[in-house]
A and B are shown apart, each in its own frame.
Chain A
């Protein structure tokens, strides 16, 4: 694989093949849509329009993308150390708990300017702690992080249900939700911020956490490729024995990487709880932690790729909802099929087209080699 990476020019590998994979996914989705008797071109038009066609749609797409950037970065950071963090879901959930507790405790007394940094810190800290335990177990006890993070997702949801049903529920409320936070503990929405600047757009859930997500992308890029810690992380990821031989404390790197990963996943709470729901509730993570794995794979574990993949998945979520809304015969399950096909083609089958392109490229660049190959 490493040899092959040198064969193809950068743009084929990073742009052309992913785009073709998405195209193939849509082609197969189109066939499915034809078999249920709908017009696939109309479906694509509705999906694109539903994701980017008007201000509110763009807002929803960006709102979903914000979640995916956080969880995608979380998966990517762990991946660079050779760790598969499947626990983004639970880390985000517990991050929400931390953020919710801080908001409930301080929203009546502290001003906005103090609460927001506290919200950022608490969501990161709780997410971090939830990833620290699997990280420690992997590094010092040899329990595989895939298994432990999955189990920690279940522990997180059990803990949240217990707390929401028995402790944090608003008295007299039907559903297990906390009271709403005071407005001083709301992450400002994009339409609110733009309105203050004099530009009016349609309200949508997109909020300032998006900017924080982009800042995190820069931080992750600096961390992984331009810091000593990042170097240690990548060394451990590519060859743990060599890293140990070179004098890197691989156990500490594993724990540290999981902590960074968990903190990034915890930031999902900023967008969901701080920016949209303004109260603590169950299941706000809605599978974003798992989608983060696909986002990270598709973005080749690079912040820029993750932003693009997040936009694509945000568009699939929002455009898919629009499609299900507009066409009665296309149910939400069919939308999941389309999303699944995109993940299949650009994640699992990401390298399917590659040998073909390599052969074509070799033929084009050195025609003489063809005869000897054959």
Chain B
């Protein structure tokens, strides 16, 4: 090879090493896509905030089938991205495989636990947040019948439902909780029409507060509640502003904070592997109170829920986690 030909290659190599000094973080969104108005979008907001604050660009990919998860994670690692954030429990097995292949790359998985020395697992106590909004639902309900609408029927959503039911029963042991799941395919995460239909059928059966843990399907539930002048509870992000006046509250799950922290700590060197469980005590879950729902939550209601929140944090009130034994106590 002539020296003239080698020169560009050498240049490219030295450039590559310059870039390698400042590794780009990366995020692999799951099937819902980064604009799902819910879980993935929360992560997107978190990493966008990181980019705006630090000016560090990040790599991203949205998977379209099961096999691409591992492929995308591996490609990110091959390109030297670090840390790499995997969004959603479904990426757990892929993170485990790729994490073993690249022991020097740092991975963060949101919503699942992967036990590897180079993986940080962030999980949330959704049952605690759901417990509190369950209390609010029971306190706001006049009929004593409240509803729950889930997305796809998977253990994670049953965990939401189980926590919610416990919260309702904590306030009013005689209350009735009517539960529906939207569907059995991932389309159930984005079916507002079906969500509205389920909500209306629940209203016909006496429900006057409905909690939707169903991604984009929830939009239809909130609309149906507004039309029928009933109350609805949002999920994941603060969705109170979607239907001001009929949104009782939202169960917020701070995936944005988790994603932001993963990137931020990766950049400043404070990133640590291991499991982070974000519950009420850590501010990882909670219920939203803002100018849109102030009027719906009077002071005594607020005090009661805040008391329960303090009790849960102190360990005086135990909320059962469905996923521990795949069972919900009655």
Q: Does A169 contact B (CB under 8 A)?
A: yes
B326 touches A171 (CB 8 A): yes
Most chain B CB inside 10 Å of its own CB: which residue of A63, A160, A171, A175: A175
Q: Does A205 contact B (CB under 8 A)?
A: yes
From B64, B67, B185, A63 is in contact (CB under 8 Å) with B67
CB-CB contacts of A160-191 with B at 8 A, as 1s and 0s? 11100100010100111100000000000000
B111 touches A324 (CB 8 A): no
B68 touches A321 (CB 8 A): yes
From residue B110, how far is it (CB to closest CB) to chain A in Å? 12
Q: Which of A97-105, A213-221, A276-284, A307-315 contacts B (4 or more CB under 8 A)?
A: A276-284
Q: Does B136 contact A (CB under 8 A)?
A: no
Q: Which of A116-124, A225-233, A325-333, A343-351 contacts B (4 or more CB under 8 A)?
A: A325-333
From residue A237, how far is it (CB to closest CB) to chain B in Å? 32
B66 touches A277 (CB 8 A): yes
B67 touches A205 (CB 8 A): yes
Chain B contacts of A281 at CB under 8 A?
Answer: 66
Q: Does A157 contact B (CB under 8 A)?
A: yes
CA distance A69 to B155 in the complex (A): 35
Contact A165-B92, Cβ < 8 Å, known A157-B184, A174-B112, A321-B68: no
Chain A contacts of B67 at CB under 8 A?
Answer: 60, 63, 205, 272, 276-277
Q: Does A286 contact B (CB under 8 A)?
A: yes
Chain A contacts of B186 at CB under 8 A?
Answer: 283
Q: Does A370 contact B (CB under 8 A)?
A: no
Q: Does A353 contact B (CB under 8 A)?
A: no
CB-CB contacts of A268-305 with B at 8 A, as 1s and 0s? 00001000110101011011000000000000000000
Chain B contact-residue range equals 20 to 34
Q: Does A158 contact B (CB under 8 A)?
A: yes
Q: Does B292 contact A (CB under 8 A)?
A: no
B62 touches A332 (CB 8 A): yes
Chain A contacts of B184 at CB under 8 A?
Answer: 154, 157-158, 160-162
Chain A contacts of B71 at CB under 8 A?
Answer: 60, 321
Which residue on B lies nearest to A288, using beta carbons? B65
Which residue on B lies nearest to A175, using beta carbons? B89
A-B pair count, CB < 8 Å, reads 70
CA distance A171 to B51 in the complex (A): 39
B66 touches A161 (CB 8 A): no
Q: Does B93 contact A (CB under 8 A)?
A: yes
B64 touches A332 (CB 8 A): yes
CB-CB contacts of B124-158 with A at 8 A, as 1s and 0s? 00000000000000000000000000001111100
B66 touches A286 (CB 8 A): yes
Chain A contacts of B185 at CB under 8 A?
Answer: 154, 157, 161, 283
Q: CB within 8 Å of A: which of B136-189?
A: 152-156, 184-186
CA distance A272 to B68 in the complex (A): 12
A161 touches B153 (CB 8 A): yes
CA distance A85 to B71 in the complex (A): 31
From B93, B113, B155, A165 is in contact (CB under 8 Å) with B155
Chain B contacts of A161 at CB under 8 A?
Answer: 152-154, 184-185
Q: Does B196 contact A (CB under 8 A)?
A: no
CA distance A162 to B184 in the complex (A): 8
B72 touches A175 (CB 8 A): no
Chain A contacts of B116 at CB under 8 A?
Answer: none
A286 touches B155 (CB 8 A): no
CA distance A171 to B186 in the complex (A): 22
Chain A contacts of B62 at CB under 8 A?
Answer: 324, 331-332
A interface residues with partner B (beta carbon < 8 Å): 60, 63, 154, 157-158, 160-162, 165, 169, 171, 174-177, 205, 272, 276-277, 279, 281, 283-284, 286-287, 321, 324-325, 328, 331-332, 335
Can you list 13 A-B pairs, Cβ within 8 angstroms, ordered by A?
A157-B184, A161-B185, A174-B113, A175-B92, A176-B154, A177-B93, A205-B67, A283-B186, A284-B66, A321-B64, A321-B68, A332-B62, A335-B64
5 additional A-B residue pairs with CB within 8 Å, beyond A165-B154, A174-B323: A157-B184, A165-B155, A174-B92, A287-B65, A328-B60
